[in-house]
Chain A
Amino acid sequence: MWHVLDSDQEMLRDMTARYLADNAALPQLRKLRHDPAGFAPGYWTAGAELGWTSLLVPEEHGGGSVSGRGAVDCALIAYEFGKAAAPGPLVDCNVVAAALADAGQGTAAAAEVLSGLLSGQAIAAVALGWAPWLRPDQAGVTVRRDGADYVLDGTVRPVESAGQAQWLLVTAHGAEGPSQALVPTGAPGLAITPLKGLDVTRRFSAVRFDGVRVPAAALLGEPGGARAQLARQIANAAVILAAESTGAMDAAFAMTVDWAFQRYTFGRALASYQALKHRFADMKSWLEASHAVADAAAEAVADRTPAAAEYASAAKSYIGDRGPELAQECVQLHGGIGVTYEHDLHFFLRRVTLDRLLYGTPADHRRLIAAIQIEQEQAA
C-alpha cells in the first residue's frame, strides 16, 4: 500500500481497520465456520456506512470516494480486508455497484439495486457465464433472443454469496457477442446450489440458468456489446483482489518473521540460518513488488489510463502467483503447526489462494496481457 496517504484516506482506512478488529477478529471468524452466509447482515450494513460499497460510485449516483480516485480508496479497504481475512462480498458488491453507475442506472430497478448496494441492504453477486479469456464456445451461460425477451441457459460456478444475494449480474455469450443482465435471484428457472469452499467465511454456489427469461430492460448495455464494460468490471475486481491479497500476504509474512525470531532449533533462532534468511529476503521482495503493482494498478484503473487493463491484469497475475507461493513458504517455515486449524496462518493462505482463483487465474490474465501486447505491436 501507499507510503503516503492524505488524512481523509487515513481516516477511511483506520475506521475500517478498527471496525474489523472489533467485529471480525480471527476468534470471531472461527465461530462463523459453519454459518451459511459467513457474515451477519448487520456486519455488512455497518461496513457499508464506512464506505465499503460506495467508493467506486460517483457522487451523482449516491456514492463517493474520499480522494477522488475511487479505485485507490477501494484498494485501501480491500487491503484491510486481506490483513484481517475479513468476511463479506466486498468484490462483487463493488463491481456491480460500479457497473450500474457506469451504465447510468437505466431502469428504476437498477437504481433501486444500486441504492440497496450502497446502503448494504442488498447483496449482488457476479456470475461470469463468459469471460474475456474464454472463447465464445467455452461460455458457461448462453443467451438468445426470444421475442422481446432474452433467455439464459447454462451454469456458472463458483458464484460468491449467491445464496445471500438478491441480484445477479450475469454475463452470457450469444450470437451477437457477450451480453450482461441484472437478474433477481428468485427468477423462475434459476437454481442456486451451495458448494463447499476454501475460505472460512466466504461462501460460494453453483448457479444454474434453465431457460431464465429476462426482459430487454434488464440488460446492462447493448445486447452483444458488453465486452468493454466487462473488461472494466474485471479490472475493478482485479484491483480489489490484488489489494486484498497483498494485505493477506503482509499478515502472513509478519507472523512468520515473528516466528523466525521466537522459534529455536539446535540452540539457534530460525532467523539465524542463512538458508532461511535468504528465503525471507525473497519473500520480502515479492511482498514489496506486490504492494508496488497493486498500488499502480489501482491508480491506473482509478485514472482510466490507456494501460489500466494491462496493469490490472499484471497485478492480478503477479500477485495471484506470488501470494499463494509466499503463503505456502510461510507454512513451510512454520512446520507442522502451519497446517493446523488452531493456528492463524491458514486464514491468509485460504484468502490468497481464493483470490488467485476468482475473476481469472494468473494464466488467464497473462493471456489477456499478451492479447493487448500483440494488438499494440500490430497497431504500431
Chain B
Amino acid sequence: MSDDLEPVEDFRRRARAWIQANLGPVQPWDLDQNCENDAEELKAVARDRALQRKLHDAGFAGLCFPKEYGGQGLTPAHHRAFCEELAGHEFPSRFAVPTFSPCASIILECGTAEQKARHLPAILRGDEVWSQLLSEPGGGSDVAGATTSAVRDPATGDWIINGSKVWTSRAWWADWGLILARTNWNVPKHQGLTVFMVPLQQPSIEIRRIERLNGESEACEEFFTDVRVPDSDRMSEIDGGWTVGQRWMYHERVGHNSPWVLRPVGLKQNESKEPTLVAVARRAGRLDDPAARELIGEGQALKIVTHELQRRLASAAASGAGNTDLSSIDRLFRGLAGVRQATIALELAGGQAAAWSEEEEADTGSQGMRYLMRQVTCIGGGTTEIARNVIAERVLGMPREPSGDKGVPFRDVPRGPSRKT
C-alpha cells in the first residue's frame, strides 16, 4: 500500500459528490436482473454498458484494479466506501457477477500480460461482459470432473473444444466466456484441466435458454461443436487449469462480496426487489397479529445477522485472522438465511400466497412463487452441502470425504451411464 494514496474519507466525499451528481436512483432492473422480457433485458444491458463507461470516464471504474489495466489502484477500504455511497443509486449491475467476479478477478490473478492488457481495460470501459462456463450437465458441484474436451490441432496449435456447459447466467447476450476444459484424460481429474477464453457469440456455440419453474430464463446451456480457440487465449498451463480453478472457486464463493465487484452495500440498501416483510404482513392484514410480528422481527434480525457476518468475515480476511475458506461460512449462512426468509414471507402472506392479481404482484411480488424457488439460494454458486464440507474439512480440520476419483486416471473414473470413452 502506498503512502500517497488519497485518504479514504477524502475519497468518500469525492465519490459521494460524483455519485449524487451523475447517477440516478436505483432501478428495478438493478435489484432483480430478470427483466419483463428479452427486449427490456437488452435495454438494461445497454444501460449497464453505458453506466460502466461513465464510471470509467470519471475515474471510478475498477477501484482496486491496477492503474496499468485501467483501474484506480486503490484499496478495499476505498472500494467499500464507494459501495456504501452507492446505496440507493443505479449501478452497472450486470457487470458485477460474473464479469468482475469471478471472471475479471481471475484474469487479473492468472492471465498473461497480453490477456490482461487486452481484456481488463475493455471490461472496465464497459465493452466486454463475461460469463463463466463451469458446470456441466453431468457435473453439478464436482466442477473438476469436467468432461468438455479441448484437443490441440497439431497443424495450427489451436485448441478444438467439444462438449457442453450449463447454468451459465445470461450467456445469451454475453461477449466472452471463461471455460474449464479437459485436455488430458490419462491423469487424475485435477491434473488434466486447462482454462481458455472464448468469444461466446459464434456459430460453433449453440446457446439454449433454460426456463425455470417460475418462468424466468436467465440461465443457459451451451453446446460446443469444434470451437476453435487460439493458444493465445489459453489462460493456464496446459493441464494446469486447476490452479486457476481453485481461485475461480474462491471468487465464485465470494461473489458479490468481493473487493472487485461494485455494488451498493449497507442495510438501507434493499438487495432485492423483494417487498419488506412489513409490506407483506400489511397486505395480508396481519400487522397487529403478534405471531406475524414475531416473524417480521425474526426476518429483520436475520437480515442484520447476515450483513454483520459478512462484515466480520471480511474483517477477518483483512486482518489476517482468517483464510479464504472462511468464505464458505458466509456462503452456507446466506443460503440458509435466504431459505428462512422465503419461508417467513410465505407464512406472513398466508392463504393469499396461493393466488394473486397482476396489481398485487407489481406491488408486493408473489411470496408463493418466491417460496417455490426457495432452494436456489442453497444451490447456485456451489451448494450448501459443498460449503459444509469445506467448513468441516478446511476450517475445522476434520477428515476429508472418501472419493472414487482420487489418484485415478480420469479416463477410469466411474461417471455413470454417460461415461465417455
A residues at B contact (CB < 8 Å)? 3-4, 257, 260-261, 269, 271-272, 274, 277-278, 280-282, 284-285, 288-289, 291-293, 295-296, 307, 310-311, 313-314, 317-318, 362-363, 365-371, 373-374, 377
Contacts and interface: CB of A to CB of B under 8 A. Distances in A.
Contacts of A367: 290, 293-294, 297
Interface in B259-313: 267, 276-279, 287, 290, 292-298, 300-302, 304-306, 308-309, 311-313
B396 to A, nearest CB: 6
Interface of B: 267, 276-279, 287, 290, 292-298, 300-302, 304-306, 308-309, 311-313, 315-316, 319, 321-322, 326, 329, 332-333, 336, 385, 387-389, 391-393, 395-396, 398-399, 401
B401 A366 contact: no
B52 to A, nearest CB: 31
Contact of B392 (A280, A291, A293, A318): A280
Contacts of A371: 293
Contacts of A271: 392, 396, 398-399
B284 to A, nearest CB: 14
A366 B387 contact: no
Nearest to A270: B398
Nearest to A269: B399
B416 to A, nearest CB: 21
A114 B145 CA distance: 67
Given A288-B329, A318-B302, 14 more contacts: A274-B392, A277-B398, A278-B385, A289-B333, A292-B312, A293-B301, A293-B304, A310-B304, A317-B301, A367-B294, A367-B297, A371-B293, A373-B276, A377-B279
Nearest to B337: A289
Contacts of A314: 300-301, 304-305
A311 B311 CA distance: 15
A278 B388 contact: yes
14 contacts: A271-B392, A271-B398, A277-B389, A280-B396, A281-B392, A284-B329, A285-B336, A291-B312, A293-B309, A317-B298, A318-B301, A318-B305, A366-B297, A370-B293
B296 A277 contact: no
Contact of A317 (B287, B297, B308, B329): B297
Contact of A292 (B298, B309, B392): B309
Nearest first, the 6 A-B pairs at minimum CB distance are A366-B297, A277-B392, A369-B297, A281-B391, A281-B388, A370-B293
Contacts of B395: 281, 284
A252 to B, nearest CB: 15
B333 A311 contact: no
Contacts of B290: 367
B301 A373 contact: no
B254 to A, nearest CB: 16
Contact of B308 (A280, A281, A296, A363): A296
Contacts of B312: 3, 288, 291-292, 295
